[in-house]
Structure formats: C-alpha cells, structure tokens
Homo-oligomer: A and B are copies of this chain.
Amino acid sequence: MGRRKSRFLRKPVEPFVVNAGATTDDVLARMERISFQGRNLGTARRIWEKMLGSDCTIFLGTAGALSAGGMRLIIAHLIEHRYIDVLVSTGANLYHDLHETRGRRHFIGSPTLDDAALAAERIDRVYDTLASEDEFSKNDEWIAAFALKLERRPHTTREFLYKLGEQLWNDTGNNGILTAAYRAKVPIFCPAIADSSIGMGLSQARHRDQTAGFSDVIGDIIESANIVIRKPATATIVLGGGTPKNFINQASVQAEYFDDRVGGHKFAIQIVTDVPHFGGASGSSLEEARSWGKLATDAEQVTVHADATIALPILVSALAGGAVDTLARRKPMSFDLAGPTMSANGRPFPHARFEAR
C-alpha cells in the first residue's frame, strides 16, 4: 500500500478463533475485537469492570420478564456481591421473584401453545414460559396481608420493598432479588409499582382497609436523586428499557437541578432490544441521553442490542470469573433502609427534601 495508512485504520478486527473449553471471560475478552453487537457485549464487560474499579454508585435497571425468565438469581448475585448499589425495577420482576422465593415456580412452555386451553386451565403465559394463576392470586393475597401489617402511612417503594424482602426472608430463608436486597441493604425502587401485581396486592389491602396501601412514589424521586448527589460519580446499567431506564436517568437530571456538580452518569451500559428510531425512551440511544445531561458528555458507554437472557448469563459469568479482584477492592456505600428516612454511610438523607452534597 506504499502510502501511509489512514488515521481511521489503526486497530484491526481480530477474527475470533475457536478455543475448546474457553471460559466466558476469555470469550468476551476476545469479542471486544470483533464487530457489531458481539463487540458491544465484550465492551460491556470491560466497562462494567471499570465501574467496579471506580468510586461510583452503580444503578441497575431491570425491565422485561427477567425473573420469570430465569434471571432472578443472577440479579440476586449482583446485589449480594455488590456489583451494583441500587436496583430500579418493574413491579413484575419483583413479583415473579417473590413468587419463586415463596416456593412457587415458572414453567417451560412454548409460544405456540393454545391460549384458550391455557385460559381454561388458569395458566398465564409469558411468551414461552408459564405460571399458575391460582398461585399468582395467592401471592396477591399474601402481599395484601403483608401490607395490612404496615403502619398506616404512605411508604416509598424503597421502604416498602425493604420490608417486603425482610418478611420474605424471615418466612422462607430463600435467596432471590428481594431477599438478597434486604440482606445486603441494597435499595430497590419501583416507580411503576401501580402497574404490577404488587400494586394489585396493595389495592386489595386498600379494599379491606381504606387507610392501607399507600405508596409514596414521589418520595422515591427525592431519595433516588439524593443518592446520586451523595457521590461524585454514578453509573447506570439498564436491562431492557422501560420505567427503570428513565427513572435512573431522571434521578441524575433531578439531582443536577439541586446540585450542579452533578453532571450525568459517568458510565452507562444498556442491553436493549428496542431501537431508537421510533422515538420511545426504551430504545433511545446513549448519545441522545447526553443532550439531556442524563449522561456526562465524556461518559464511557455502550449499548448492546441483545436479549438480556442471552447477554446477562454470559456477561455476569465472565465478570464473576475475571473481575474478582476488582470487586474485592470495591468500597460501596453502605445504606440503612429500615425506616422512612434512609441513610448512606451513616448519614441520613433529609426527610422529603433534595440536598446538595
């Protein structure tokens, strides 16, 4: 080629070489040198380890049917070992977690089953996965009964879910998202709790006692923003878009409103199947997030266009193998979540008020 290579052509793609017995960590490390979503998944592994090695608060957002789909013990692992610091979830993922923690199961089905036949047997289908509606009804009643035991005041979902995890842990001793979060004192926010079977359980508590079942979802906004404010750097990992994705971004935007040292998340990973070009928030790009200040202009970020049920087992298996030392050195914030006012590293958040760092 005689002439000098273009500045654009510096780093060649390295064709992936098959290696029998490779660990997931080895595979992902080499995938960073291929292209397209394979490269992005490899990059996600690297950025996540970088988050763990930085002094930042890591938010995880979980949308989609992850718990029904077999991902709940991975999320519990991330909580227990503090790969993350704060969980923002749809109600469904927490509900299906509760279902299994209470000893019930989801079942292997198929997307082509006869739904009229399923309805006749009171079986609910989530694509290729099934569950008993009667067992679901019993969960709802269990949640209603639990809610009737609580003080008669609005609870942030953060406080409510902590207590729910406590009850579940005391009742069952089983591992899961809610129980792991209770034990590790990792806050969980559920901004759309009213759009879930947990919300249905709360409404049934209200039906029995009109002073019960109040969720303070606006309080969640304040607490989540205060968590962002508390540390100079934050990171976001999002599985599947939805309300968790936006809520984590909103926490940063709202935080900046009260403390202009907040400058957007410093790291971002999103594993999504939605696309940007229809304008919805679930599929929106991380580039777009910069215009809003949701992400720092120089944030390290990657979007992986993949189903989380493929990406997550591989990604977390790889980190569990290769990021052990980085994780061991990590010093995450320690939360106290038991009351209406939470605290971080022993310092309480002011009640119902944004507070600059």
* A interface residues, Cβ below 8 angstroms from B: 1, 6, 8-25, 27, 30-31, 33-39, 41, 63-65, 68-74, 77, 92, 100, 105-109, 111-113, 115-116, 118-119, 121, 123-135, 137, 140, 154, 191-197, 199-200, 202-204, 206-207, 210, 213-222, 225, 240, 242-243, 246-247, 250, 253-254, 257-258, 273-282, 284, 287-293, 297, 305-314, 316-317, 320-321, 324, 351-354
Contact = CB atoms under 8 A, between A and B. Distances in A.
Contact of A297 (B12, B119, B314): B119
26 contacts: A1-B132, A6-B123, A11-B108, A13-B106, A15-B70, A20-B321, A21-B23, A35-B65, A35-B127, A35-B128, A36-B278, A38-B70, A38-B313, A39-B108, A39-B309, A64-B279, A111-B276, A116-B297, A125-B288, A127-B284, A127-B288, A215-B217, A240-B280, A243-B243, A275-B275, A305-B307
A291 B71 contact: no
Contacts of A13: 68-70, 105-108, 129
Top 6 A-B residue pairs of the complex, sorted by shortest distance between their CB atoms: A34-B70, A38-B309, A35-B69, A194-B217, A192-B192, A37-B307
Given A195-B250, A210-B351, A313-B27, A73 B126 contact: no
Contacts of A126: 35, 279, 284, 288
A107 B352 CA distance: 35
A111 to B, nearest CB: 7
A266 B273 CA distance: 30
B316 A18 contact: yes
Nearest to A245: B195
A193 B290 CA distance: 23
Given A199-B250, A217-B217, 7 more contacts: A13-B107, A115-B297, A123-B291, A140-B257, A195-B246, A215-B217, A275-B277
A305 B321 contact: no
A148 to B, nearest CB: 13
A310 B16 CA distance: 11
Contacts of A131: 9
Contact of A133 (B194, B280, B292, B353): B292
A305 B273 CA distance: 10
Contact of A192 (B15, B128, B191, B240): B191
A232 to B, nearest CB: 19
A35 B127 CA distance: 9
Given A13-B70, A73-B15, A307-B38, A200 B254 contact: yes
B279 A20 contact: no
Contacts of A200: 221, 250, 253-254, 257
B250 A77 contact: no
Contact of A291 (B33, B119, B196, B324): B119
A107 B9 contact: yes
Contact of A107 (B12, B193, B206, B351): B12
A70 B6 contact: no
A72 to B, nearest CB: 5
A136 B52 CA distance: 34
A23 B19 CA distance: 11
Contact of A191 (B64, B194, B278, B279): B194
A317 B22 contact: yes
Contact of A8 (B11, B113, B199): B113
